[in-house]
Amino acid sequence: MKEEEPESVEYGYVRVSGKSQNEERQLYAMEKAGIARERLYIDKQSGKDFNRPEYQRLLRKLREGDALFVQSIDRLGRNYEEILEHWGLLTRKKKVDIVVLDFPLLDTRGRGEDQSLTGKFLADMVLQILAYVAQKERENIRQRQAEGIAVAKASGKRWGRKKKNLPPDFPALYTAWKNGEISEGQLLEVCGMKRSTLYKRLQEKRACQRE
């Protein structure tokens, strides 16, 4: 006899921003919440949008009455408008409950219709505030970075690799190379440059001499 599927299933979603980051803290939180390992979906990708392979797989898997657990709202996503869009998609269209472990008010589950409705209402309000704060902080970080770069440029600091100039004794080295006394490889080694960089500096030098 075929075993019946449970009426509702609890899933967990884990996300870290890159492959070098560790998801163990989130996995531990899921284990404490009682989420089975085979029902965990893990993405190692930025939360700037929802085009993530494991999240999309989970979205197709979820059915009405299921519950989705995330450790924190920023693990679900970081874009204010898209968080609200997907929260609505999950809770209203797919009729899935969402549980944010580190913020108990973001728990749409309830015992009975009235409590469930109240839980969803409170969660929606809190979510709008938190999603806005997450998006605002993301924008503030970008603004601070831009301001820092602008200040550094204004104070004369250079970004990227420092430009390599030809050594002071280059005219003698250049003559030796043209006369076949040293090889191109030796010239590059003494100048500490790649071939492309050396020729670029030569072009700049010739352009300055013509001016």
Our CA angle for 178, 184, 189, nearest 5°, is 125
Under a CB-based contact definition with an 8 Å cutoff, are residues 76 and 70 in contact? Answer: yes
Q: How buried is residue 134: exposed, middle or buried, by Cβ count under 10 Å (0-12/13-18/19+)?
A: buried
First vs last C-alpha separation in the chain: 92
Long-range contacts of 163-168 (CB under 8 A, 24+ apart): 164/191, 164/192, 164/193, 164/197, 164/201, 165/201, 166/191, 166/201, 166/202, 166/205, 167/191
- CA 75 to CA 4: how far, in whole Å? 32
In the set 8, 17, 20, 183, the catalytic residue is 17
Nearest by Cα to 28 from 97, 99, 101, 77:
101
Residue 92 DSSP class:
I
72 is known as an active-site residue? no
- Residues 76 and 13: their CA atoms lie apart, in Å, by 8
Catalytic residues: 17
